[in-house]
Amino acid sequence: MTEYIAHPIEQAVLKQLRDLDDAGRPAAALTDEEGGAPLRCCLRRSEPGERIALVSYAPLRRWAAETGAEPGAYDEQGPVFIHADDCAGPDPDGHPFTNAHRTVRRYSVDGRILGGRLVQPPDSFDDAFTEAFADPAVALVHVRAVEYGCFLYEVRRARA
């Protein structure tokens, strides 16, 4: 069985976003009094009292810069929560944020959307990833919240 890896925002990118986000605005840290914000740096929900920041992030743009893809109009940016300071990163086991309806959005090697799938509990995310990556044209997928379309994390095939 092929494994699929959930990728948080990389540490070097987090450092940039904590200075200026992808919209060119400085990050504004705040104390999360209630907790529950989906953190894209460590792929878990925030705890009450943690210092977090809401920043603008362009995941496909950054992937395209690495690969030379030209996503055109699919290059979008949106709000994501991150820790205001360095954190330990994610727990490597499992897929985060799977307790609600999610969309698995497929992208081609040139950054174009190839379709998607609604995943809702108790559906299997592994099944959704297997289905997506069965198409050789799929280079990566984004897991997104259904309600607002927010980017949660990127998934790629595990390298052998």
pLDDT tens digits for range 117-145: 999 988 888 899 999 999 999 999 999 99
Strands (DSSP E) along the chain, which ranges? 4-7, 29-32, 38-39, 44-45, 50-57, 78-83, 102-108, 113-119, 138-145, 151-157
For the cut 80, the answer to whether the pLDDT of residue 94 exceeds it is no
> Terminus-to-terminus CA distance in the chain, angstroms?
12
Amino acid letter for position 57: Y
Whether 107 has a pLDDT exceeding 80, the answer reads: yes
- Look at residue 5 and tell me whether its pLDDT is greater than 90: no
Contact criterion met (CB below 8 Å) for 108 and 138:
yes
How far, in Å, CA of 121 to CA of 4, rounded? 19
Residue 13 sits at φ, ψ, to 5 deg, of -70, -40
